[in-house]
């Protein structure tokens, strides 16, 4: 059996399973850098079902479990697409040949900016980071933000100081956007963070960010 035919049959079977046991989801695809879940980016309504990484419905997701296998008709989706099902939002990280889709459940909406260096020589205005001295990179992107084991200590080293948390952030790759260490991140909870490490993988971005403190 030819590969294309076999892949089509697998996608069809996934659709049958999702129709029988899943629920309807809205699929979104954007070619912009902001608001991927805008109404104009919705291109499909599709039945979908999500299960654990072992492909079995044996236990619910636990703390820090962001990855899942997506069961739906893969013929209509591609990596980077978002699926919104009720109050859950997922993005497709990978669709390997003859394999189920790897999806990431998001829990935050994040934005990224980059500090801009002064363009004039000589004396310049205040050189700190302000709203007027950053360039937007990504705005309003659902992402998975998970606590990381790393932590830092404020430089003041006061008795009341607490450790600075690190997070692992997963989000789709965006054509034309390269995230770098020292980029700034903010989320829908009003928290601010600085990118410590940025890794562009075959599954999208995997970032290590450090919460910014004052």
Same domain flag for 81 and 117 = no
Domain of 184, CATH number, reads: 2.40.10
Pull the structure tokens for residue 105: 């459940």
Q: Specify the 3-state DSSP secondary structure of 192.
A: strand
Does residue 41 sit in the same domain as residue 72?
yes
- Segments forming the whole domain that contains residue 80: 3-105
Please tell me whether residues 116 and 99 are part of one structural domain. no
| 166-212 pLDDT per residue, tens | 999 999 999 999 999 999 999 999 999 999 999 999 999 999 999 98
Q: Are residues 205 and 126 in the same domain?
A: yes
Q: What's the Cα-to-Cα distance from 5 to each of 2, 17, 75, 170, rounded to whole Å?
A: 5, 19, 12, 33
Alpha-carbon gap, residue 198 to 60, rounded angstroms: 30
Express as a percent the part of the chain with pLDDT over 70. 83
85 - beta bridge partners?
Answer: 88
> Under a CB-based contact definition with an 8 Å cutoff, are residues 212 and 166 in contact?
no
Cα 112 versus chain centre, distance: 12
Overall domain count for the chain: 2
Name which residue leads in pLDDT, 71 or 55.
Answer: 71
Of 105, 125, 144, the one marking the end of a domain is 105
Q: What is the dihedral of CA 4, 7, 13, 16, to 10 degrees?
A: -80
Q: Which two tokens stand for residue 34?
A: 């902001």
- C-beta separation of 66 from 146 below 8 A: yes
- Per-residue confidence band for 126, with pLDDT thresholds at 50, 70 and 90: very low
Same domain, 197 and 165: yes
User: Do the Cβ atoms of 139 and 34 come closer than 8 Å?
Assistant: yes
DSSP code of residue 169:
E
Contacts 24+ apart (CB under 8 A), 122-130: 129/184
Q: Both 134 and 73 in a single domain?
A: no
């Amino acid at each position: 059996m030819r590969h294309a035919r076999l892949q089509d049959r697998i996608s069809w079977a996934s659709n049958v399973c999702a129709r029988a046991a899943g629920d309807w989801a809205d699929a979104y695809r954007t070619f912009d850098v902001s608001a991927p879940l805008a109404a104009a980016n919705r291109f499909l309504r599709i039945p979908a079902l999500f299960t654990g990484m072992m492909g079995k419905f044996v236990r619910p997701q636990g703390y820090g479990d962001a990855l899942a296998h997506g069961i739906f008709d893969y013929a209509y989706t591609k990596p980077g697409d978002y699926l919104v099902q009720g109050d859950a939002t997922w993005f497709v990280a990978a669709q390997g040949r003859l394999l189920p889709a790897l999806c990431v459940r998001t829990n935050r909406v994040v934005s990224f900016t980059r500090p801009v260096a002064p363009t004039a020589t000589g004396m310049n205005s205040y050189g700190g980071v302000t709203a007027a001295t950053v360039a937007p990179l990504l705005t309003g992107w659902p992402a998975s933000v998970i606590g990381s084991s790393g932590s830092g200590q404020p430089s003041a080293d006061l008795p009341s100081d607490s450790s600075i948390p690190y997070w692992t952030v997963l989000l789709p790759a965006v054509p034309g956007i390269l995230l770098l260490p020292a980029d700034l991140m903010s989320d829908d909870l009003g928290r601010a963070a600085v990118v410590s490490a940025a890794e562009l993988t075959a599954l999208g971005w995997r970032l290590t960010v450090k919460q910014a403190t004052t």
